[in-house]
């Protein structure tokens, strides 16, 4: 055993991670169908006006506003109907004084007309060739001007914009089929440990199914990156160095297990062979044996997560997610929080910032933490509370802030 000589605080770990992240520079063309949640890598300027023609914003009648100046329900103005214009149709008729054209929402305004009276303010005369107008319209009323939404030359998307459904809609509105976006960071994920077995098969003596590859993969996919799973590596320095080499082309490498100080925890030695340690050991619980390093001549960032599934996933939420999102150029994740009274007293190790999982039942936060090795500490929790390093007890009934998963 080689004990941790020192740990750094959570704040210091975050500082070093922030300093190490280099947002992705690679870009690629992405079809609009696949663009949700991606980040634009270039400004997009509209080549056309949207709408491309003046159009009616209502179902009603295209009129000359001056004709309707005195129109009231008691004394309607009568206009002769000269055309019916549906969407996708351009009228060949010119609306002249004393006439009007029936028009559908979205249909091009006919020549001559300068306003639309909505159908609710009209009635059709018995013969059907005359329309009674009950309300005065001013010029421009219920008309969408050409280019009113987007004018040719307008910037629709700025580089760095998150491609939300509405921004994808704006790109569709100007006729784009694709968009230049930053590439999703490629994240190599690899579990270490002689005991770690692939799910799907049967377990040999002393073996357990691999959990961390899947929890880490899920986190990576949920935060704008693509997960590249690798086969688990054995606990030898040679196997771990080979594993690092196999991940060399990734934008980020995430190992789990072997990051502690046991005789078989050799990730530290593999890092020494291939890179530079930035930190090893954080004063948090769970998740103390977490390492961060840069690997190879490219300085590829490397996370060495603890093997215990809850420690691994807890630190993935706390440290890996912010790093991933900065790498992918996504805005920071802001998890929801709620205040609740604590249902039972909790004691915490002093000098370690503790993340304690809780379940919410009837508005009360109940401790859900079993142990760092138990994935159900997380899978049966709704969120966690934080207990700072200088606090050792949280009393039953005290109000706590629960960060929801
Ligand atoms: P380690 O960090 O390698 O010392 O592992 C700590 C604990 O986590 C041990 O009980 C391991 O068997 C367990 N463990 C390590 N890796 C995994 C994994 N990928 N899935 C589930 N449990 C793991
Ligand atoms: Mg291990």
Instruction: Give distance in angstroms: CA of 180 to centre of ligand 2.
Output: 42
User: What's the CA angle centered on 287, arms 283 and 288, to 5 degrees?
Assistant: 40
Mention every residue, 6+ apart, whose C-beta is less than 8 A from residue 236: 266
The pLDDT value recorded for residue 5 is: 67
Counting ligands in written order, the one closest to the CA of 262 is 1
pLDDT of residue 2: 64
Of the candidates 94, 134, 92, the residue with the CA atom closest to the CA atom of residue 114: 94
pLDDT-derived band at 261 (thresholds 50, 70, 90) equals confident
The string of pLDDT tens digits covering residues 201-218 is 999 999 999 999 999 999
CA distances (Å), origin 313, targets 147, 188, 229: 50, 16, 16
133-160 pLDDT, tens digit each: 999 999 999 999 999 999 999 999 999 9
- State the Cα–Cα distance between residues 348 and 367, nearest whole angstrom: 12
What local confidence, expressed as pLDDT, does residue 327 receive? 98
143 Cβ neighbours under 8 A, 6+ residues apart:
54, 55, 56, 57, 109, 114, 115, 116
The kind and range of the H/E element at 155 are strand 155-157
User: Of 52, 41, 57, 89, nearest to 174 (Cα)?
Assistant: 52
Determine the residue of 1, 194, 266, 308 to mutate for testing ligand 1's pocket, defined as the one with the most ligand atoms within 8 A of the Cβ atom. 308
Quick one: pLDDT band at residue 6, thresholds 50, 70, 90?
A: confident
Average confidence (pLDDT) over 381-389: 96
Confidence of residue 11 (pLDDT cuts 50, 70, 90): very high
- Nearest atom in ligand 1 to 258's CA: 3
Looking at the chain, the whole-number percentage of residues with pLDDT higher than 70 is: 99
The pLDDT value given to residue 118: 98
Tokens 């604590």 correspond to: 342
Alpha carbon of 218 to ligand 2 centroid (Å): 21
Q: Could you give the angle at which helices 267-274 and 237-246 cross, rounded to 10 degrees?
A: 60
Task: Report whether pLDDT(28) > 80.
Answer: yes
Strand partners, 196: 208
This prediction's pTM: 0.92
Query: pLDDT tens-digit profile of 96-115?
Result: 999 999 999 999 999 999 99
Predicted confidence (pLDDT) at residue 304 exceeds the cutoff of 90: yes
- Residue pLDDT, tens place only, 15-25: 999 999 999 99
- Burial of 191: CB neighbours in 10 Å, binned 0-12, 13-18, 19+: buried
What is the pLDDT averaged over residues 226-240? 97
Rounded CA separation 221/228 (Å)? 10
pLDDT at 3 (0 to 100): 66
What's the mean pLDDT in 161-190?
98
Distance between Cα 376 and ligand 1 center (Å): 15
Protein residues whose CB sits closer than 6 Å to any atom of ligand 1? 191, 193, 195-196, 208, 210-213, 256-260, 262, 265, 306-309, 373
pLDDT over 70 (residue 63): yes
The rounded mean pLDDT for the chain is: 96
Q: Which of 157, 218, 169, 156 is nearest to 33 (CA)?
A: 169
Handedness of CA 344, 348, 353, 354 (dihedral sign): negative
pLDDT band for position 1 (cuts 50, 70, 90): low
Radius of gyration, CA atoms only, the chain: 32
Nearest CA to ligand 1 atom 6: 307
What distance in Å separates the CA atoms of residue 109 and residue 107, rounded to the nearest whole number?
6
Q: Which atom of ligand 1 is nearest to the CA of 232?
A: 19
Examine the pLDDT at 4 and tell me if it is beyond 80: no
Atom of ligand 1 nearest to the CA of 210: 20
Q: Which contiguous run of DSSP H or E holds residue 197?
A: strand 196-197
As a whole number of angstroms, the distance between CA 180 and CA 382 comes to 37
Q: How far apart are CA 101 and CA 80, in angstroms?
A: 8
């Amino acid at each position: 055993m080689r004990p941790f000589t020192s740990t750094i605080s959570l704040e210091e770990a975050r500082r070093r991670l922030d300093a190490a992240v280099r947002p992705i520079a690679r870009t690629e063309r992405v079809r609009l169908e696949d663009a949700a949640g991606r980040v634009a890598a270039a400004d997009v300027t509209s080549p056309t006006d949207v709408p491309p023609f003046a159009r009616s914003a209502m179902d009603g009648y295209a009129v000359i506003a001056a004709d309707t100046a005195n129109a009231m329900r008691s004394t309607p103005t009568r206009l002769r109907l000269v055309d019916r214009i549906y969407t996708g149709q351009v009228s060949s008729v010119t609306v002249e004084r004393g006439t009007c054209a029936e028009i559908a929402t979205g249909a091009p305004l006919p020549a001559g007309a300068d306003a639309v009276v909505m159908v609710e303010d009209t009635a059709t005369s018995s013969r059907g060739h005359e329309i009674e107008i009950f309300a005065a319209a001013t010029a421009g009323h219920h008309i969408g001007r050409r280019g009113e939404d987007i004018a040719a030359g307008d910037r629709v998307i700025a580089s760095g914009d998150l491609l939300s459904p509405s921004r994808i809609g704006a790109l569709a509105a100007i006729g784009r089929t694709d968009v230049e976006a930053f590439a999703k960071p490629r994240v190599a994920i690899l579990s270490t440990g002689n005991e770690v077995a692939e799910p799907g098969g049967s377990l040999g003596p002393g073996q357990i199914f691999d959990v961390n590859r899947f929890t880490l993969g899920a986190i990576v996919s949920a935060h704008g990156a693509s997960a590249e799973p690798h086969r688990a590596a054995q606990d030898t320095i040679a196997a771990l160095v080979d594993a690092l080499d196999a991940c060399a082309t990734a934008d980020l490498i995430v190992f789990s297990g072997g990051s502690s100080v046991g005789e078989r925890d050799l990730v530290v030695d593999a890092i020494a062979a291939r890179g530079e340690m930035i930190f090893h050991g954080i004063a948090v619980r769970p998740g103390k044996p977490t390492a961060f390093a840069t690997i190879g001549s490219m300085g590829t960032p490397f996370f060495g997560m603890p093997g215990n599934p809850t420690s691994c996933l807890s630190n993935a939420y706390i440290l890996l997610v912010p790093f991933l999102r900065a790498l992918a150029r996504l805005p920071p994740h802001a998890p929801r929080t709620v205040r609740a009274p604590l249902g039972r007293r909790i004691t915490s190790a002093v000098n370690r910032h503790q993340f304690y999982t809780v379940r919410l039942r009837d508005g009360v936060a109940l401790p859900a933490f079993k142990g760092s090795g138990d994935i159900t500490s997380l899978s049966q929790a709704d969120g966690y509370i934080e207990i700072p390093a200088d606090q050792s007890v949280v009393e039953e009934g005290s109000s706590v802030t629960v960060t929801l998963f």
